[in-house]
């Protein structure tokens, strides 16, 4: 006789895998000649093990099928009805070790459907409890996990000052917090994730080895970072004294507008300031779009590199070098649309880099004059409509009777504090750009003394892009 058995567990955790082995032993003791299993949610209908058993039943290639119980099979009414229909058509009996499964009678099918619905309700109740737990956790601004450099004390995060590693050459003991400060400093100096990891791994002797087989692989120690891991760590608002929710999976480094940030939950335990994060964030964003912050040391630095675009096709423009006929020792550079050489753009005319830079300087100087005039005007202290509405609601519920209003008042106060924090963060970034612009262009002679790499950093901080067409500058878009 051919008797397939089936069971399922939800995850690869040690407890679940131990339960899986127990299920297999029970199925084997029940007389199963072959055993199929899945490690997946019971709601999924694409489970390989379950579909294999149902195909054996459909083809009448077995004499009986054995299941542990209905919730090990499914909690989906659709999957259960498919199993019932398959068994009735094939006239193959079903046996349950913990449940009396009988698809051949009306009462047996009703019993199976009730068990399936109970399993579904259990999952929904569990999801509801988890959801309420997360909501309560967020209302308390409580932390979930401590990133590198921190430790969890109660529901708060604090810098971890305990000795973590000892350098062999200097016998110096370093804490996670000290290493965290060092990581931020290294990145701000190198402006590159790879360069930061090279320096960091070389200093602390972190090496990873890989082979064709898993048994030859060695994982990095707990001190090691991957490229994506270091990027996520630098982006973590916890390093700036905030607590953030909604950063799981692919949202660790992107979709920042979806993050739920609770500002200044531990301001005395920061690894970087807001000004430092602005530099980190702008560099990460630039590197993601242009692959690197700076070219190899052997390359000539072009201050406007990565900022010049073709107004016709919106593509980037690249530098094209040429020597003067009058003096072959002098080399000049023009910007030309990079898509022209592939015939995907008809903008053949190039433009001298000096002319483009002069247009950028004029735009920045003009903007500096405008900002100087604006700074002399009295400040506008009128709250925006959104904030006025929140304050009006807060005033209403503060005077409302009953205990229910207390929770609403606390939530409204949190929203107002969050609004002020986001507003302050945005104003701080704009203020930094304005101060930089006014500082540099208040003295034209000072601008001429700047090195190419210094002008490059200033342009990237103040200029969004420069559009050229037909050998002329069409537009200069500023960030400030």
Q: In the prediction, which pLDDT does 293 show?
A: 54
Q: What is the pTM of this model?
A: 0.60
| Residue 398 neighbours by CB under 8 Å, 6+ apart | 405, 409
Q: Can you tell me the distance from the alpha carbon of 117 to that of 74, in angstroms, rounded to the nearest whole number?
A: 10
Which tops the pLDDT comparison, 328 or 280? 280
Q: Is the pLDDT reported for residue 467 higher than 90?
A: yes
Q: What is the mean pLDDT of the chain?
A: 83
pLDDT of residue 256: 77
% of the chain beyond a pLDDT of 90: 25
DSSP state for residue 378 in the 8-state scheme: P
Identify the residue with better confidence: 424 or 153: 153
pLDDT tens for 45-54 read 888 999 999 9
Q: What integer is the mean pLDDT of 343-370?
A: 85
pLDDT over 80 (residue 27): yes
Mean pLDDT score, 358-373: 79
Distance, in Å, from the CA atom of 353 to the CA atom of 308, rounded to the nearest integer, reads 10
pLDDT for 348 beyond 50: yes
Distance separating alpha carbons of residues 283 and 314, to the nearest angstrom: 22
Is 21's pLDDT higher than 80? yes
* Spatial contact of 476 and 462, defined as CB atoms under 8 Å apart: no
- Which pLDDT score is estimated for 271? 94
Q: How many angstroms separate the CA atoms of 150 and 205, rounded?
A: 22
- For residue 152, what pLDDT is reported? 92
Tell me the per-residue pLDDT of 92-136, one tens digit each, with 9 for 90 and over. 988 888 887 888 888 888 888 888 888 888 888 888 898 888 888
Q: Was domain 150-290 assigned CATH 3.40.50? A: no
Q: Which of 346, 339, 353, 275 is nearest to 307 (CA)?
A: 353
> Could you report the per-residue pLDDT of 403-430, keeping only the tens digit for each?
667 777 777 787 787 777 777 766 666 6
pLDDT for the residue numbered 219: 43
Looking at per-residue confidence, does 159 or 212 come out higher?
Answer: 159
Distance CA 51, CA 8 (A): 12
CATH number for region 4-139: 3.40.50.1390
Least reliable range by pLDDT among 61-65, 326-330, 334-338, 454-458: 326-330
Q: Which pLDDT tens digit goes with each residue over 298-345? A: 457 788 888 899 999 888 898 888 887 777 777 888 999 988 877 788
Whether 80 contacts 113, CB under 8 Å: yes
- Per-domain boundaries in the chain: 4-139, 150-290, 354-478
In percent, the amount of the chain with pLDDT more than 70 equals: 85
pLDDT given for residue 75 in this prediction: 84
pLDDT of 168 = 83
Please state the rounded mean pLDDT for residues 1-27.
91
């Amino acid at each position: 006789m051919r008797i397939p058995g089936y069971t399922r567990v939800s995850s690869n955790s040690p407890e679940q895998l131990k339960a899986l082995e127990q299920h297999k032993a029970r199925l084997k003791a029940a007389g199963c000649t072959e055993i199929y299993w899945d490690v997946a949610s019971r709601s999924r209908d694409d489970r390989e093990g379950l579909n294999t058993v149902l195909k054996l039943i459909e083809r009448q290639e077995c004499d009986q099928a054995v299941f542990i119980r209905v919730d090990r099979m499914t909690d989906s009414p659709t999957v259960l009805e498919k199993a019932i229909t398959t068994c009735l058509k094939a006239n193959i009996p079903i046996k349950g070790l913990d449940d009396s499964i009988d698809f051949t009678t009306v009462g047996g099918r009703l019993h199976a459907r009730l068990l399936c619905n109970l399993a579904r309700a259990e999952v929904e109740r569990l999801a509801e409890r988890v959801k309420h737990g997360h909501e309560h956790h967020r209302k308390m601004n409580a932390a979930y996990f401590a990133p590198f450099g921190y430790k969890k004390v109660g529901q708060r995060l604090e810098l971890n000052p305990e000795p973590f590693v000892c350098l062999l050459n200097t016998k110096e003991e370093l804490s996670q917090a000290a290493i965290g400060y060092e990581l931020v400093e290294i990145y701000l100096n190198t402006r590159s994730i790879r360069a930061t990891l090279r320096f960091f791994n070389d200093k602390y002797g972190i090496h990873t080895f890989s082979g064709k087989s898993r048994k030859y692989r060695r994982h990095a120690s707990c001190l090691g970072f991957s490229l994506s891991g270091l990027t996520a760590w630098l982006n973590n608002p916890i390093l700036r004294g905030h607590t953030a929710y909604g950063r799981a999976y692919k949202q660790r480094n992107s979709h920042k507008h979806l993050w739920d940030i609770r500002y200044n939950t531990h301001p005395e335990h920061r690894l970087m300031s807001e000004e430092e994060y602005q530099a980190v964030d702008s560099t990460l964003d630039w590197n993601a779009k242009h692959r690197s912050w700076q070219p190899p040391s052997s390359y000539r630095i072009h201050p406007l590199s990565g900022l010049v675009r073709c107004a016709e096709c919106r593509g980037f423009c690249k530098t094209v070098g040429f020597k003067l006929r009058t003096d072959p020792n002098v080399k000049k550079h023009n910007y030309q649309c990079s898509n022209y050489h592939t015939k995907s753009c008809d903008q053949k005319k190039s433009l001298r880099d000096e002319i483009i830079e002069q247009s950028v300087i004029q735009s920045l100087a003009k903007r500096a004059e405008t900002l100087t005039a604006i700074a002399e005007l009295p400040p506008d202290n009128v709250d925006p409509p959104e904030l006025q509405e929140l304050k009006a609601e807060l005033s209403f519920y503060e005077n409302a009777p009953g205990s229910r209003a207390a929770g609403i008042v606390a939530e409204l106060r949190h929203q107002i504090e969050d609004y002020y924090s986001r507003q302050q963060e945005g104003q701080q970034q704009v203020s930094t750009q304005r101060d930089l612009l006014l500082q540099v262009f208040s003295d034209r002679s000072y601008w001429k003394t700047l090195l190419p790499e210094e002008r490059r950093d200033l342009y990237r901080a103040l200029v969004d892009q420069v559009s050229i067409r037909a050998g002329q500058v069409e537009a200069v878009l500023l960030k400030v």
